[in-house]
Structures are given as structure tokens and as C-alpha cells.
Structure 1
Amino acid sequence: MGKIWLTRRGLLSLLPAAALVAPASAEIPLGVPSLYAADPLTGLALRGYDPVSYRLGSEPVSGSDAHDYVWTGLVWRFSSAANRGAFARAPEVYAPRLGGCDPEGIVAGRLVEADPLVASLYGDRLYLFRDAERRRRAGPELLDAAEARWPDLRRDAAIGG
């Protein structure tokens, strides 16, 4: 009996069907979080956007599979070897804070998935938000409260990041 191989094209053809089957939920169930805005089907952190690019321009840039790097059990993609190298030397500097979860959700004690296209740098820290309204409401007090709550929430959920 011959083996059946799933090609990239074959996997991509399954995406529309997966969207119909998978429940659309903004809140991440504890114990099974999608940290760093990871795509659940591909395992790509930031859904394939280059984390270093958030600091280099006004919009994040898509990464390339030619510049993959594995960190925290996820595949991180980069638009160049230089960006991959910078991340590999100091991933905590470039990765989003709070495991890539929405700060407002963290303050409320919930892991709420964030959108990698709704991001902001506050000082030298990258935060992702669920939507533009939450990003607009975010300020130093909210972010400080989220940072203070994050270690306990991360420990209680038994997750990394």
C-alpha cells in the first residue's frame, strides 16, 4: 500500500474547511492557549509575520519559510537572515509581551487571543491587541496592570511565554 503525502498546497486547500469546522472564539481556553498569535494549523507565531519588522517600519512584514527559527515550540518567520539572527540573539526583546495575548484580557484574568496586525510599541515593548478599540484604550496603567497579572496567569494556566 502506498503512502499518502500531504503537500503544502493540499494543506492550504483544507483551510477553508477548517474554518467552517473550528469554533470562532476570541477567548483562549486555559490549558490550550494559542500564544504569540500562533496559527493553529501551521504553528507559525504571529501568523507568519516577522517579529523584528514591528520595530523597523509602520507595518509588520510577512516572513519567509527560508528564514524560519523555532522558539517556544513555535516557528517564527523572518523576512531576512539578519532579522532572524537578531531574534535568535535576543528573542525576548522582539517577541510580543504577555505571550502575545491581549492586555485587557490579561487584566481581566483571561487569555484573549490578539491580532498580530493590531500591535503597538510602548517604549521598547511590543503588545498585540484583540482589536483597534482595545489598542486605543490601552495606556501605561493598563499595560502595567497586565504585566503584573501575567506571571500568575501564566503559572495558573501552566504555559510558557
Structure 2
Amino acid sequence: MGKIWLTRRGLLSLVPALAVRPARAETPLGVPALYGADPLNGIALRGFDPVSYRLGPEPVPGSGAHEFTWSGLVWRFSGAANRGAFARDPEAYAPRLGGCDPEGVAAGRLVEASPLVAALHDGRLYLFRDPERRAQAGPPLLDAAEARWPGLRRDALIGG
């Protein structure tokens, strides 16, 4: 077999690929972005206002004029009041389980969920992969997911 030589030009062509830094919401290979973050811009919940889930039947899009950075992501809000409420207690408004689908978390997997398929259970916001999974979610599933979440979260942050 012939030898493969890496020329100076070939080596220099690799430098830009090594210099590219991942976006804020980028996660280890095969792991979805947490909190429904857009992997291209690091905006949580794909830009929906997390406080709005508690105020009406549908989430409201946030605005670039009302942003707050928490947990390494940019969160957008429809107004200053919602931004202030979130800033005072982000854990109360952010989706549980890092915004991952509870069924996947209960099974030991981080499965991306949709910010448009949400439900409040016992005052906690959960996101689901699809409406069918949301309809089937109940306390046993959510309790199992909550119990499994700390280990999965740790593994996701470490990189598997």
C-alpha cells in the first residue's frame, strides 16, 4: 500500500475546521440541545417567552429587545415584566428536564421536544416530542423522568 502524505497545504486546510467554535446550544454528538435551544443561535425555546406558557393557552414569541442570559442560553420575552419575572426565578419558568421529552428521559435518553407541545403539571413546565406523548403523560411517567434526569443531565454536560 502507498503512503499518504500530508502536505503543508493540506495541513493548513485543516486549521479553519479546528478553529470553529461550537454555538452555545451545541451539545455532544447525538445529544439534543437543552431547553429547546436553536443550535444555530443559542436561543432557548426557539425564541418563545417561557413566562407566557403560564399566562395563556399558547406560548408567545419573545423579542430580541427583551433578552436574558441564563444557563448559557439566551431567553427571549414578550415584555420587560416577563423578563423580570424570569430573572428573579429562572428555575420556576424554565422547562423541566432541560426541555427534553419526559418519555425519553424516563427511558434514559435525551430526546428533543417541541416548544409548541407543552403542558403544565403541578406548576412545572414540560415539553413533549408530540401531542400523543403529551396526552399520555401522567404523574408516574413524570416522576420517573424527574428521578432519571440528574444522571442524564450530568452525562450530557460532561459529554457522555
Q: Which runs of 4+ in 1 moved over 3 A?
A: 28-33
Matches within 5 A, 1:17-96: 32-96=31-95
Contact 2:114 2:130 (C-alpha < 8 Å) held by counterparts:
yes
Secondary structure of the structure 1 residue equivalent to 2:32: coil
Offset at residue 33 of structure 1 (A): 3.5
Structure 2 residue runs of 5 or longer lacking an equivalent are: 1-26
How many residue pairs get aligned? The number is: 132
Contact 2:28 2:156 (C-alpha < 8 Å) held by counterparts:
no
RMSD, aligned α-carbons: 1.5
Offset at residue 69 of structure 1 (A): 0.5
Q: Output the TM-score relative to the length of structure 1.
A: 0.78
Structure of greater Rg: 2
Offset at residue 88 of structure 1 (A): 0.2
Structure 1 residue runs of 5 or longer lacking an equivalent are: 1-27
1:107 matched to 2:106: yes
In structure 2, distance between residues paired with 1:29 and 1:113: 13
- Could you give the per-residue CA deviations for residues 72-130 of structure 1, whole angstroms, max 9, x where no partner exists? 11110000000000000000000000000000000111000000000000011000000
Q: Output the TM-score relative to the length of structure 2.
A: 0.79
Contact 1:29 1:111 (C-alpha < 8 Å) held by counterparts:
no
In structure 1, distance between residues paired with 2:57 and 2:140: 24
Identity across aligned pairs (percent)? 78
